[in-house]
Amino acid sequence: MPAFNEQQIVKTDYGSFIEKVDSGKVKEVMLKSGQVYFTAVGADSNTVAYQTGAINDPELVDRLLAADSPNPDGKIAFNQIVPQENSPLLNFILLWVLPGLIFYLIWRQASKSLRSRFGADGNFLSFGNAGSKIYAESDIKTTFADVAGQDEAKETLTEIVNFLHKPEKYAEIGASLPKGALLVGPPGTGKTLIARAVAGEAKVPFFALSGSEFVQMFVGMGAAKVRDLFKQAAQKAPCIIFIDEIDAIGKKRDAGFGSNDEREQTLNQLLTEMDGFDGRKGVVILAATNRPETLDKALLRPGRFDRRIQMELPDLEGRKAILEVHLRKVKHESIDMDIVARATAGSSGAELANIVNEAALRAVRMGRQAVTTADLEESVETVIAGAQKKNKVISASEKKIVAYHEIGHALVAALQSHSAPVHKITIIPRTSGALGYTMQVEGEEQVLQSKESLFNRIVTLTGGRSAEEVVFNTVTTGASNDIEQATRLARAMVTRFGMSEQYDMMGLETVNNAYLGGDTSLACSADTAADIDREVLRLIKEAHAKAKDMISSHMDIMHEASSFLMEKETITGDEFMQILRKHLGDDFIKV
């Protein structure tokens, strides 16, 4: 049949096709793939191509043979195109061999990828790439010179460094390297930093990973990771393994009949691996945690983690050393380290690093080329209370209340013994929500707190509310944070510090997670708890009454200092003390 353009073919129904056959108008017919293609003479004597669907018609051939046609021989030319079929062999290859080959190649590639990722033993249950980072000697730039404020920890870890450098000196006497050292302390004290410093000093490979990386969805995966980690460490020995937040896998196991959960199996594998390697080969495990009380006893026994290294918050000299380390990285001039270090009591190394960075950012904003002491002091306040809210609009009446509130704190603090000197008073709002604050800075590092000093702190905390009551005969919400701190301090005096005559040295409260804020829980009966509340209330009332009496007796100082504060918005401790001495003399008696 001649080739026709698809647009030239007219679609019709099978009945019309039979009608044209019977009327002698059809010239050619072709059956192809269930379709009937035919040509017929149209009304204008032109040949038109048609298409219709084939129907199971046994009499079609006889009908075509018997029908007339416009062809010269009077017969309809017809045929059927049979689709070319593949040979049986080709069909077998296409349907069976080729899909099987493709599946095999995919499986092989996937297996290779899994082996490279989870281990080379090919066993699905033994997948174990530890996901740890291996640092070569040149990659670790941190040394003990970069770690400040942790002299005791550095001294303890120096022995490990010496062993890795000269193991033969220890082998002569028969000493073995401690298998593990547990770094314990609050967040930000430099546990990870000092672990990297050990590797940097010893110039050995450093495996660093988190305890959470061992916890997997499938049981057995974490244990396989532990096996693979120690296998790599044995190949790289001498080296250091550092596991951060080890409490993720090292928590105490259940006291029941055991468990098959993933975390417990991972812990069991870790205990086995720590028992299985020789300490003389130079593989040292360092681990860090903020919750040592939650760790399994078997993990802490000698022969596993032999040493426990405390990473405490730095003292005054430690804070100075940390500030010096971080100030090396920024341009600065004439920094008074003593003032900044005393103002940052209780800050960790990470917080001090943040303070230095904030000071550098402030210096840039102010258009200076170097950081000054003022920048550091402002950054301390920014970290503690937030940035200044310069666009905050406060009414004159509220501003007056805030000023008297803050002077109330400062006056009570200045008139008491065992109280930190006032460093700064401000009524500029901060982003933390504070409308003002009074900053006290200890003259020297305080390690022990006496009953008198703690009670005087409560008196100072109630000074703001007392000023509102005495001056304005009202109370506001501005004392909410003072109330919270005073209540917590008074409760600690009664329940934990043994500073109550009623309960003497009886412990009534336990502290959990001491390095993470210190959640407390009462360890007494309900009746005793009610008595504790009454004792706490007595302490706070006594402190409140003392603060009100002190403010009522020095109203002239309150008025002058508050007016000066409203005018300046921020005054220093020295300016406040000048007003105090003007009224009381240089040798006024503190109570």
Any idea which residues carry the catalytic annotation?
Answer: 406
At 267, list the tokens.
């812990």
**Containing H/E element for 243?**
strand 239-244
Main-chain phi, psi angles of 438, to 5 degrees: -115, 120
Query: At CB < 8 A and 24+ separation, what contacts does 366-371 make?
Result: 369/331, 370/331, 370/332, 370/333, 371/327, 371/330, 371/331, 371/332, 371/333, 371/335
34: left (phi over 0), alpha (psi -120 to 50) or beta: left
| Structure-token pair, residue 416 | 């008491």
Nearest to 273, CA basis, from 242, 246, 303, 238: 303
| Pairing outcome for strands 47-53 and 35-41 | antiparallel
Q: How far apart are CA 492 and CA 488, in angstroms?
A: 6
**130 burial class (0-12, 13-18, 19+ CB within 10 angstroms)?**
buried
Q: Label the pairing between strands 35-41 and 26-32.
A: antiparallel
d(CA 557, CA 425): 15
The DSSP letter of residue 313 is P
Radius of gyration of the chain (CA): 43
Place of tokens 């046994």: 58
Token pair recorded at residue 300:
């802490």
Single out the residue of 454, 466, 409, 451 nearest to residue 434, CA to CA.
409
Rounded CA-CA distance 23/310 in Å is 109
Residues 539, 393 contacting (CB under 8 angstroms): no
Query: Contact at 8 Å (CB) between 160 and 198?
Result: yes
- Contact between residue 410 and residue 466 where contact means Cβ atoms under 8 Å apart: no
SS3 268: helix
SS (H, E, C) 25-94: CEEEEEEECCEEEEEEECCCCCEEEEEEECCCCCCHHHHHHHCCCCCCCCCCEEEEECCCCCCHHHHHHH
Say which amino acid occupies 257: F
Q: What angle do CA 308, 309, 314 make, to 5 degrees?
A: 150
- DSSP secondary structure, 422-491, as one string: EEEEE---BTTS-S-EEEE--SS------HHHHHHHHHHHHHHHHHIIIIIS---GGGHHHHHHHHHHHH
Judge if the upstream peptide bond of residue 178 is cis by omega within 30 degrees of 0.
no
Q: How many residues does the chain have?
A: 591
Angle of helix 396-415 relative to helix 451-467, nearest 10 degrees? Answer: 160
In angstroms, the Cα distances linking 308 to 177, 179, 248, 283 are 14, 12, 18, 17
